Amino acid sequence: MSASAVFILDVKGKVRLGVFCEYFKELEEESIRDNFVIVYELLDELMDFGFPQTTDSKILQEYITQQGNKLETGKSRVPPTVTNAVSWRSEGIKYKKNEVFIDVIESVNLLVNANGSVLLSEIVGTIKLKVFLSGMPELRLGLNDRVLFELTGRSKNKSVELEDVKFHQCVRLSRFDNDRTISFIPPDGDFELMSYRLSTQVKPLIWIESVIEKFSHSRVEIMVKAKGQFKKQSVANGVEISVPVPSDADSPRFKTSVGSAKYVPEKNVVIWSIKSFPGGKEYLMRAHFGLPSVEKEEEEGRPPIGVKFEIPYFTVSGIQVRYMKIIEKSGYQALPWVRYITQSGDYQLRTS
């Protein structure tokens, strides 16, 4: 059901519009839109099952004390950010300490089949900024972009070929298209400057091998070996390895060389948690489950093993922030800080 118009009548059948004018001065489409919550509350008090109840504005003001947004007719003022060429940043911003924090975050999407062959491999990256800068600064970000290196005649050895690059509206796209310069006046605070993708063959950062032995009408034993295949100086934090188990398994027992394991029956998985996983290390987890005497038939194939992790101070693509130039007419000095993080995206390894 829908209504095209609402008429507020008192018990004598007279239209009562003064109630609304008491709250927000002018009764126009804009003022109703701006005071939607108050209109809703007023209608709730004015009517009961479609019949008028309390229509006196003075009595209503005892119940609904909220002040309305009064429409100032003839004094409309366009916000400065609308007329400003830089609509995403206000003028007059001031900080005692001028700083920019840059986070380069890469998520690894990986799918490995039961034979150990990589079926899907992709890196999805984002560059996020946290800006605390006074005035209206212009920033220029330099990356080891392969196209830029080719344009300037540099060696391509340590460059990265970025695909599907998307920018925040503050970036001057014409300049990027012309000479690959990422130039922009940033919004204040947190925002995502850009995102990119690399379809490249990534060596699995955490490799998983599993052996599942099922003893008929008795038990199932699972052995999982995890190996860090990233550089030894790096450490993966918050590692979680989700190993699927039969839906009718019970009586779990675990033994781990590091970390802890727990059974999550509502998801039919064992989650092996490792707080700190250095590169080059190997760890082992064994799980034993009881099975009912009458086995439940497995309708579908076994789900893959899922892995979650985060490796700070490391990017799998090799992308680097070469420089961040900050130019502002007052000439203040500002400090840029850069942090690199590689994390798991959709990271799955199928089991046989």
Distance, CA of 47 to CA of 234 (rounded, Å): 67
Q: What is the pLDDT of residues 253-300, one digit of tens each?
A: 999 999 999 999 999 999 999 999 999 999 999 999 998 865 555 555
- How big is the CA angle at 226 (ends 223 and 232), to the nearest 5 degrees? 155
Tens of pLDDT, residue by residue over 146-176, are: 888 877 777 767 788 888 999 999 999 999 8
Is 281 within 8 Å of 225 (Cβ atoms)? no
For residue 8, give the nearest of 73, 65, 23, 70 by alpha carbon: 23
CB 140 within 8 A of CB 327: yes
Q: How many CA atoms lie within 13 A of 26 on its CB side?
A: 11
pLDDT digits (tens, 9 = 90+) for 212-254: 888 877 888 999 999 999 999 999 999 999 999 988 888 999 9
Taking only the tens place, the pLDDT of each residue in 5-63 is 455 555 444 445 666 777 666 767 777 777 777 777 777 777 777 777 766 666 666 66
pLDDT at position 199, please? 84
Helices and strands (DSSP H and E) totals, the chain: 7, 18
Instruction: List C-alpha distances in Å: 18 to 31, 46, 76, 86, 334.
Output: 14, 13, 24, 42, 57
Which tokens go with 290?
Answer: 């009881």
**What is the C-alpha to C-alpha distance for residues 239 and 277, in angstroms, rounded to an integer?**
7
From the number of C-beta atoms within 10 Å of its C-beta (0-12, 13-18, 19+), residue 320 rates as: middle
Q: What is the pTM of this model?
A: 0.72
What does pLDDT average to over the chain? 84
Between 309 and 28, the higher pLDDT residue: 309
Q: In this structure, is the dihedral angle defined by the CA atoms of residues 24, 25, 27 and 33, taken in order, positive or negative?
A: negative
Residue 345 has pLDDT above 90, yes or no: yes
HEC states along 79-116? CHHHHCCCCCCCCCCCCCCCEEEEEEEEEEEEEECCCC
Q: What proportion of the chain, given as a percentage, has pLDDT over 90? A: 54
How far is it, in rounded angstroms, from Cα 149 to Cα 31?
56
Interatomic CA distance for residues 350 and 224, integer angstroms: 13
Residue with tokens 């003064």: 18
Cβ count within 10 A of residue 169? 10
The answer to whether residues 268 and 244 touch, using CB atoms and an 8 Å cutoff, is: yes
